[in-house]
Each structure stands twice: as C-alpha cells, then as structure tokens.
Amino acid sequence: MNNRKFNSYLKNKTVALVGPASYLSEFEFGNKINSKDVVVRINRGMELVEENKKHIGNRTDILYSCLIEHPDNGGIINIKKLKDENVKWVCTIPYCTSDGKKTSPFLHPSVKLSTILKLYFQFNFHIYNHKSYSLLNKNLSSRANTGFAAIFDLLKYDL
C-alpha cells in the first residue's frame, strides 16, 4: 500500500530509526538524530520524546506501529498528537503467524477498524508487504516485532 509514494518520500534520504531503548538515556544523540532527513520511531517511542529530547531528538516523521492499542503493544493511537508532532507517515505490519505460513495483507485482528480509517484518511499510510513480512518471519522462526520489521521494510527502499 503506497509503496511508490513511500519510496519517493524516502529516496536518497538519511534515516534515523529510534527505538524506545533505555540505554539511549546514557547518550546525547538528540541533535544527531534530528539532523537526519527522516526520523522514524517505533510504537510508543513518541511518548519518550518530551522528557528525553537531548537523548533521542524531538522529531518523528514516520511512526511504525503495530496499531494494537494496548500499553504492552503499540499504545493508544492519539491522532491529535500525531498531527501536532507533524508525523508524515504511519506504517504498520500485516497479520502473520510466527512460522510465516499464514499471512494476510490485512492487519492483526486486535487492530480497530476505526483506528485504521482515521489514520488512512488523515496521514500517509503504509503497510509492510505481507509476503516479505511472512518470509522474514519464516526465516526467523518467530514473529518479527514492529521495530525489527521496520528495519527490513525500510531497507527495501532507496534510502
């Protein structure tokens, strides 16, 4: 979904992918992260920005989220905050079993349709190719989490 438009957005750009790793608080990478053309955050990573700007920067251009709105997963999707923070793309992963055998271009059954519709009509929206995600899971013999999948998805484009 939107692969050409997503590639056009990423083409020849430098990208910082920032996960919510606690060890980042030991470093002051904020300016270095913000200096990249595109800043990508994972799931609830945006929640950490306000208190940790000097460590993790303060921009989010792309949010990769599993879209499962639970504190142990992607967290609550706050459309107003995404707009206020000038997020340009919301990306997600398709539904797939951990062995990669059952795959679908659709999302996990726990993702709310109302959330998908809000995101789709208010942001650029991208879903990692379900066949590529299935192959990744098959090769891992596990279900790739959103952050790990984001790395492989981004590397398919002309960064």
Q: Over the stretch 85-95, which tens digit does the pLDDT of each residue have? A: 999 999 999 99
- The pTM assigned to this predicted structure is 0.94
Per-residue pLDDT tens for 124-147? 999 999 999 999 998 998 889 999
* CB 94 within 8 Å of CB 130: yes
Residue 101 has pLDDT above 80, yes or no: no
pLDDT, position 58: 95
Nearest CA among 73, 64, 76 for reference residue 149: 64
Q: Vertex 74, ends 72 and 78: CA angle to 5°?
A: 125
Q: 26: burial class by Cβ within 10 Å (0-12, 13-18, 19+)? A: exposed
Contact of 143 with 114, CB cutoff 8 Å: no
Lowest-pLDDT choice from 9-18, 91-100, 106-115: 91-100
Q: What is the mean pLDDT of residues 67-81?
A: 93
